[in-house]
Copies of this chain bind each other. A is one copy, B any other.
Amino acid sequence: MKRFIDLAEHSPEEVAALLELAARLERHPEPTALRGKVMGMLFFNPSLRTVASFQAAMTRLGGGSFVITPGQGTWKLETRDGIVMDGEAAEHIREAVPVLASYADVLGIRAFAGGIDLQADIEERKFMEMAGYCPAPLVNMESAVNHPCQALADWKTMDDIGVPKAGGRFVLSWANHPNPLPLAVPSAAVHMAAMRGMDVTVLRPEGYELPEAIMGRARAAAAASGGSLRETDDRAEAMEGAHVVYAKSWQSTRYYGRPADDRAQRAALEHWMVDESWFAKARQDAVFMHCLPVRRNVVVADEILDGPRSRVLPQARNRMTVQMAILHRLLAGGTE
């Protein structure tokens, strides 16, 4: 394995092997496996779970890490090509990325969507440009429309509690939020569930359709795995027999890059906050998932987060667990 930037680059067998390795490392820690190894992390956007769990993962495997946040103790970075750099940014990513990669055995990059040009975001232009400057193994710590570490953690979380693959019903639901957010987590989650062989429903109000490029990829993954994928705005229909409700807010694809229009549209969508009433037609033991951070009583009610359905803490914990497996595979050279 040379990089981990998109779950779709990996076969189901590779994913299974990563999850086995994660489980093995949970049972049998290897505190010297990555002795003397270094992960570099480059964050263009805020983080809590990612920055903490990767540092913890490297320490648990005997290595170490460094964290760079441009503009915070370090230079602002320019990303545009061919520009005369007489403004605020003192350094270009054409230098910064390969330099940081040269200090590290693996580089992680977080670069959220620009949120203006949907096509550019879908094509991952920003992330893939930086990937092109990085000779070292690379980990996607969340890009414009992907978050493969989260997806793998979510997969493991369902495995851990026995949510079925074939016949498992996975509902990805849009939820309300004060701000227009990226498509990374919903895109990654829908692909993951489809690849896992589940029956996947995207539940969202009109105007929040996931782009066809993303749905098409997930549909292909479902076809290969024996799962299915559909989209609806009918909550009752979507929730029927659900095993998992995965909530997430994302910005309007109808008004992409037009936050004022998006906000106006969602003013009528405050009832898209998950509470116990949503689960009326779901399986009795249906669980609630969210990648965190989550805004309480906007995205989801306290009663869900503090009640027995919530799996948000195991999901977060599994970030570290699966990332240990990813780092081990990338750096320890093991073949499971």
Q: Which residues of A contact B (CB under 8 A)?
A: 29-32, 35-38, 40, 43, 46-49, 51-53, 55-56, 58-69, 72-75, 78, 82-87, 90-92, 94-96, 98-100, 102-104, 178, 292-298, 302, 305-306, 312-313, 316-317, 320
Taking a contact as CB atoms under 8 Å apart, the answer to whether A63 and B59 are in contact is yes
Nearest opposing residue in chain B for A316, CB measure: B99
- Contact sample, A vs B, 9 pairs, CB 8 Å cutoff: A29-B36, A43-B73, A47-B73, A55-B66, A56-B66, A85-B296, A90-B295, A95-B312, A99-B313
Nearest opposing residue in chain B for A320, CB measure: B103
Taking a contact as CB atoms under 8 Å apart, the answer to whether B64 and A64 are in contact is yes
Name the residue in A29, A296, A306 with the highest tally of chain B Cβ atoms < 10 Å from its Cβ. Answer: A296
The list of the 10 closest CB pairs from A to B, nearest first, reads A31-B36, A59-B64, A91-B293, A85-B295, A55-B66, A56-B103, A102-B317, A99-B316, A84-B297, A90-B293
Taking a contact as CB atoms under 8 Å apart, the answer to whether B73 and A56 are in contact is no
Q: How far is the CA of A293 from the CA of B64 in the complex (A)?
A: 25
In the complex, which residues of chain B have a beta carbon less than 8 angstroms from the beta carbon of A38? 55-56, 59-60
In the complex, which residues of chain B have a beta carbon less than 8 angstroms from the beta carbon of A102? 313, 316-317, 320
Nearest opposing residue in chain B for A58, CB measure: B64
Cβ of A271 to closest chain B Cβ, rounded Å: 14
- Asked, given contacts A99-B49, A99-B292, A313-B99, whether A298 binds B85 with beta carbons under 8 Å apart, the answer is yes
In the complex, which residues of chain B have a beta carbon less than 8 angstroms from the beta carbon of A64? 55-56, 58-59, 64
In the complex, which residues of chain B have a beta carbon less than 8 angstroms from the beta carbon of A58? 64
Cβ of A36 to closest chain B Cβ, rounded Å: 3
Nearest opposing residue in chain B for A302, CB measure: B82
Nearest opposing residue in chain B for A96, CB measure: B48
- Candidates B68, B85, B296, B313; contact of A297 at CB < 8 Å: B85
Taking a contact as CB atoms under 8 Å apart, the answer to whether B51 and A36 are in contact is no
Name the residue in A73, A98, A297 with the highest tally of chain B Cβ atoms < 10 Å from its Cβ. Answer: A73
- Asked, given contacts A48-B91, A73-B43, A74-B48, whether A83 binds B296 with beta carbons under 8 Å apart, the answer is yes
Q: How far is the CA of A226 from the CA of B181 in the complex (A)?
A: 62
Q: How far is the CA of A38 from the CA of B82 in the complex (A)?
A: 42
Taking a contact as CB atoms under 8 Å apart, the answer to whether A91 and B52 are in contact is no
Cβ of A120 to closest chain B Cβ, rounded Å: 22
Q: How far is the CA of A46 from the CA of B90 in the complex (A)?
A: 11
Nearest opposing residue in chain B for A73, CB measure: B69
Q: How far is the CA of A320 from the CA of B87 in the complex (A)?
A: 29
Taking a contact as CB atoms under 8 Å apart, the answer to whether A68 and B52 are in contact is yes
Name the residue in A68, A82, A90, A100 with the highest tally of chain B Cβ atoms < 10 Å from its Cβ. Answer: A90
Taking a contact as CB atoms under 8 Å apart, the answer to whether B29 and A32 are in contact is no
In the complex, which residues of chain B have a beta carbon less than 8 angstroms from the beta carbon of A312? 95
Cβ of A67 to closest chain B Cβ, rounded Å: 8
In the complex, which residues of chain B have a beta carbon less than 8 angstroms from the beta carbon of A67? 73
Taking a contact as CB atoms under 8 Å apart, the answer to whether B72 and A73 are in contact is yes
